Amino acid sequence: MKTIIAFPVKALSIGIMAIMLSACGEETDHIPPAINQPGTTPPAVTPPPGTTPPVTPPVTPPVTPPVTPPVTPPVTPPVTPPVTPPVTPPVNPPVNPPVNPPVNPPVTTVPSTPIGPSTPSIPSTPIGPSTPSIPSTPIGPSIPSIPSTPIGPSTPSIPSTPIGPSTPSIPSTPIGPSIPSIPSTPIGPGTKLKYPEPKKDIADAYLLGFFDHAGRAGTIRDIRPDLVGTFQAMIQFGQNHTVDPQGNEAKNMPRLTAEKEALLLVTPTPEMGDVNNLVAEIYKDGALLRSVNLADPTRIPATDQTNTDKRPRVSYSNRAWSTKLKWNEVEGGLKIRIVDEKKRSGDLLEDKIDFAAPGELVLTNIRLGMLTAPPQSWGHYMLRDPERAGSDYFQTIPAAQMTVAVYDDMKLDQVMVGNGTIYDSVSSSDGGMYNGDMRENTAKATFGVGINLANWGVTSASLHSQEQPQLTQNVNAHHARGKYANGEHNHGLSGGNGMLTIIDSVRNEFSHEIGHHYGLGHYPGASGGDYFWAEHHADSGWGYNGFRNKMRGNLDWPRQVEGDGLSGKPLFLATYGYGRDAMSGGSQSGAYSDYTHYTGYSTKIKIQPAFDKAVFDTSSPTGYKKWNAELRKMEVIQPKVPRSGNVWYNSADGNYLKPRLQGVPVFTILGGYDPVAQKGIIYPEARGNWGNVFDLPTPNNSLEAASCWLSVTYSNSTVNNIALSPNRMNGNANKFHVNLAIAEDPKKVDLYCKKANEAQVQLSTIDIRQYSDPIRPAVTFGKEHGYTALRKVELPGLEQQLIAQAENPTVVLNTNGKLLYDSYKEYRDELSPQALETLERYEKQQETIYRLNRWVNVYRTDLSKKEPEALSEFQQFVKWLDLQDDNPLENVATIRNGNNCLKVEKLENGKLNSFISGESGCTGDDSEQWVYDLKGKIHSKMALDQCLTEQGSWVNLGACSLDSPAQVWEMNGTNQIKQGNKCFDLRTGHLVDNRGSLITYNCNGGWNQKWTTLTKNPSFILATAGNNLPLIVDSLQKQPVTTDNLQTRSLSMDTTEEPSVLAKVSTAISTWIDNLVS
């Protein structure tokens, strides 16, 4: 239907004169501005050829636009306000848009509107060809879908993304200098919209802010003033826990860990009023390092929430602004200045930030079979996938750096135990999870303790003893299995004293057992039946996942609340129960971690002190450094060896030896010997990817001296003798543990002992094997290493998804792809050109939907009331975003199983419920209509923000998420609707009382798993709008009637009313103008 619009005569006459002057090369500024008519919907506007709207992130609109287009930062997506696609799209659109920005600021005024229909205020349309030279890139489905590039081999699984707030997650403001924001929707000269594009979003009304509430009662938390100056706010830092700048000990919370990246959280006090923009200036020792825009509270990192029930979503705070601090900014001398748009500023001074030691953890891992094959399990996460496992656990501890090292699997055909016995077939003892002589003497004392002692340059100790000095924070984790008199047994579920004997190196077993190593017992802080300190609570701290840029909640997401919150187990707003400390049963329910979360109490009393140890440092003349709390920095130390009857420290001057090589691939030589009985064993060399190598003392082999030693022969025939304890240390046998650098190519090792005045005796010998496979490197996280090791593994997965989407008009990343994007968007320069172009297009689309949701969030009340001006300006804004052709209700259809249909009903409590109805109950109304979006979610037409969700094998409605894998369904030509190998299934295969339940069950091709499938709706809004979807769709359907301020009205070609003479004249003039312009 074509609309003909009449013009006021005066405006037409002035417009004709302007056209004539323009055609002669003249210009006029006497054309009156168009008057804003809420009742009209303007045509979409196309920028003049040679211009493009400024590309800027959405923080605050600049007073004047930049003269040159801003450079797109690596984090924040470039945002080009979309324009309406031209009527006739060019065949070959240019690849690069023009770069000249408009001269006039788009926020308040624009060039005058040319002669044309009287419209609300919009940017001027140039007098020139009706089709612009550069078309906009459509966001929605206006371009036919092109088959995507096939995805190659599957990428490793990433933890599922949680169900987040209704507004999509958009990259936060970049870490860098302040950048002007996206301009608001242009407004005509002298005219203001009643509903201009908002500058700042507001939180979802149903989103709970966790830290906005305090204490067991959940009252509104007071905002503590932490700054000095004219601007006042509360400051927090997010690492393994969210902590305050000072005073944490009084709250049983840890301090901020030095030299580890942190999330800066800034919550303005109420006295600051409405704040539209905040900038953090980062200083070190008085020098300005950088300035960075803070993300507003709606863009705080998303939580790891996973529950799919009807309870409200939770963010860390609805009041806190945020940005990430770099690891080398979080150290002594740090000062932070917060500045708002009114130039008010407040300082967090250097002496108001308490730091803890930048501790380092070295974790070695090995699988050990004693007289049998070593155990194998998918749960050996640290061994199987050290990049993901290590980076994950690193988020839970107050360490500045963590290294995960692995050894090749070991099978021992002979085993020596503490009494000197050597087994070659089976142990004489009984074995069990916690039992067995090989468990104690071989797995724990020899391998667990021995690997650590080798890294401190200690060559021998009692085989009975598990004593070790814990000079640095080194831990060995071993998965051990042995053959005993009562059969073969795995050993596990044990930890402490620098070693972990575990079944799996993932989930609560790992977090719990290494917690014992830090010194924690069970239920720390519990007293008299009060478990307040043993579990999380309002002040026990959330976590911040630095490499995923997500918040880790301390709530147990799936667990429904129980009880009244007494007995020291509080509830969060009577809605969620809190998670349990790793030492109190452990709760692991978040989307981004496979490890449990310690409470702030446990971290403060044991874990953080455990990291106040020496660290290996190649720049130190002694090989070691340690934290000086008074100076708030690391300094060189010379550690002294302790006195011991169980450990032979082989030190002549009482100092620990300096490592000659640090953190290099090694062969660790382990075994046992009895210097009295003169028998011993050298186990096959253990090949590992991280170890320290020392210049070790040589033995005294004079005739009158008793001595024992290892003799190492290298490929160049060099022989190196390494002294071992010549005496029994404790019991009948000793153990030895020495690292040899693989790069130095050792070939053979011999074990010798001699008694005083006797000849030497060779006790054992091994030839070091030749390896055809190169050893994979150890992985280190934190400090200058960042998460490079993990990025090398995961970034190809993002590249693959982006290339697969390159030809699609709407870029849709699946759950894993979205998580990878959030993790690595700052490293876009490592992508291929094709993947980078797709990523930038994805960011533009995400920015578009963010702006749409922001408009709805801010003006929700009037939009819900169907205020005519709100509806009209909303529809105008949708056109400005180039979404006017987006149809969220396209391809709506029923889902049937034979004659049965899938329906939605409203229960007495007002909640919606899905069920399967028999034929007589299927009427074809909206309760039976479904729509399938680009991400694979199935929406109910009756409630578009409700999607079919898998909930423990049951399928019911849940709030539509942007990324939850529980809502992503695959449909294929076999008439199956499935997730993985689980298909839609009519429970029990039949109806009861004409109704049945929908579940997922192993796909078997049965009739009760045959369903009519849906055609995907290409709507961008449907797939991405979240909770705002019903209101958006409803508002797009409305056609508001408004008063015509110019006393003209729009007439339709199919109306029965005859146009007036003025209307006919106006139409003719409009046609003439169009022809003249063309």
The CATH number assigned to the domain with range 896-1017 reads: 2.80.10.50
Using an 8 Å Cβ cutoff, are 864 and 181 in contact?
Answer: no
Residue 856 is inside which H or E element, if any?
A: helix 833-858
3-state percent helix, strand, coil for the chain, nearest multiple of 5: 20, 25, 55
Q: What is the pLDDT of residues 52-67, one digit of tens each?
A: 333 333 333 333 333 3
In this predicted model, which residue has the larger pLDDT, 592 or 119?
592
pLDDT digit string (tens) for 623-669?
999 999 999 999 999 999 999 999 999 998 999 999 999 999 999 99
Q: Which two tokens stand for residue 413?
A: 């055909």
- Rounded distance between C-alpha atoms, residue 545 and residue 397, angstroms: 11
CA 645 to chain centre: 49
Is 15's pLDDT higher than 80? no
Question: Residue 900 pLDDT more than 60?
Answer: yes
Q: How confident is the model at residue 561 (pLDDT cuts 50, 70, 90)?
A: confident
520-531 burial code (b ≥16 CB/10 A, e <16): beebbbbeeeeb
Residue with the larger pLDDT of the pair 735 and 99: 735
- Answer yes or no: is pLDDT of 792 > 50: yes
Tokens (6 digits) for 572: 């969060």
Asked if residues 366 and 407 have their Cβ atoms less than 8 Å apart, the reply is yes
579: left (phi over 0), alpha (psi -120 to 50) or beta: beta
Strand spans (E) along 277-319? 278-284, 287-293, 314-315
Question: In residues, how long is the chain?
Answer: 1078
d(CA 478, CA 504): 9
Cβ atoms 916, 990 nearer than 8 A: no
Is 289 buried (19+), middle (13-18) or exposed (0-12) by CB count in 10 A?
middle
The string of DSSP codes covering 352-385 is G--EE---EEEEEEEEEEESSPPP--TT-HHHH-
Distance CA 732, CA 421 (A): 9
Question: What is the model's pLDDT at position 208?
Answer: 95
Angle in degrees, CA 997, 1000, 1001, rounded to 5? 115
| Contact present, 142 and 54 (Cβ < 8 Å) | no
pLDDT mean over 42-47? 36
Confidence of residue 363 (pLDDT cuts 50, 70, 90): very high
- Domain positions in the chain: 364-513+641-767, 896-1017
Would strands 256-257 and 355-356 be described as parallel, antiparallel, or unpaired?
parallel
The residue type of 115 is: I
Written in H, E and C, the secondary structure of 601-644 is HHHHHHHHHHCCCEEECCCCCCCEEEEECCCCEEEECCCECCCC
pLDDT of 1045 > 50? The answer is no
- 664 vs 689: CA distance, rounded Å: 6
Determine how many CB atoms are found less than 10 A away from the CB of residue 58: 25
Question: DSSP assignment of 470-517, as one string?
Answer: -SB-EEEEEEEEEEETTEEEEE-SEEETTEEE-S-SSHHHHHHHHHHH
Nearest to 614 by CA among 415, 755, 470: 470
Which residues are CB-contacts of 25 (< 8 A; sequence separation ≥ 6)?
none
Q: What is the pLDDT of residue 115?
A: 35
Give the residue-averaged pLDDT of 684-702. 97
Q: Distance between CA 196 and CA 873 in Å, rounded? A: 8
Angle at 101 between CA 97 and CA 104, to 5 degrees: 150
Query: Got the DSSP string for 885-946?
Result: T--TTTT-B--EETTEEEEEEE-TTS-EEEEEE-GGG---SGGG-EEE-TTS-EEESSSTTE
Tell which residue, 36, 132, 137, 119, has the closest CA to residue 80.
Answer: 137
Q: 242: which strand partners? A: 238
Tell me the pLDDT of the chain averaged across its residues. 84
Range 565-588 burial, b when 16+ CB lie within 10 A, else e: beebbbbbeeebbbbbbbbbebbb
Per-residue pLDDT tens over the stretch 410-456: 999 999 999 999 999 999 999 999 999 999 999 999 999 999 999 99
| Residues facing 54 on adjacent strands | none
Instruction: Tell me the average pLDDT across 809-813.
Output: 95
Q: Which of 331, 47, 278 is nearest to 172 (CA)?
A: 278
Contacts of residue 1058, defined as CB under 8 A and 6 or more positions apart, other chains included, come to none
CA 896 to chain centre: 38
Angstrom distance (rounded) from CA 1044 to CA 1049: 7
More confident residue, 982 or 1037: 982
Tokens representing 542 are 């959330």
Quote the CA–CA distance of 663 and 685 in Å, as a whole number: 18
Res. 14: pLDDT tops 60 = no
**Range list of H helices, 441-480:** 450-455
Count CB neighbours of 92 within 10 A.
Answer: 5
The torsion angles phi and psi of 552, rounded to 5 degrees, stand at -105, 115
Instruction: Indicate if the pLDDT at residue 690 is higher than 80.
Output: yes
pTM for the model: 0.79
Distance CA(735)–CA(728), nearest Å, equals 10
Q: At 778, list the tokens.
A: 């150890």
Residue 826 identity? E
List own/partner pairs for 231-234 with CB under 8 A and 24 or more apart.
231/268, 231/272, 231/338, 231/339, 231/340, 231/344, 231/345, 231/346, 232/268, 232/269, 232/271, 232/272, 232/346, 233/266, 233/267, 233/268, 233/269, 233/272, 233/338, 233/346, 234/266, 234/267, 234/269
Tell me what the mean pLDDT of segment 237-257 comes to: 98
**β-pairing, 360-370 with 401-406?**
parallel
Q: With pLDDT > 70 as the criterion, what percentage of the chain qualifies?
A: 78
Task: Return the structure tokens found at 523.
Answer: 């239920």
The DSSP element (H or E) to which 21 belongs, if any, is helix 9-23
Q: Among candidates 124, 130, 133, which has minimal Cα distance to 15?
A: 124
In tens, the pLDDT along 465-521 reads 999 999 999 999 999 999 999 999 999 999 999 999 999 999 999 999 999 999 999
**Sign for the pseudo-dihedral over CA of 845, 849, 852, 857:** negative
Residue 956's DSSP bridge partners are 949
Q: Measured between alpha carbons, how far is 305 from 553 in angstroms, rounded to an integer? A: 7
56-60, 264-268, 596-600: least confident range:
56-60
| Residue among 106, 97, 112 at smallest CA distance from 51 | 97
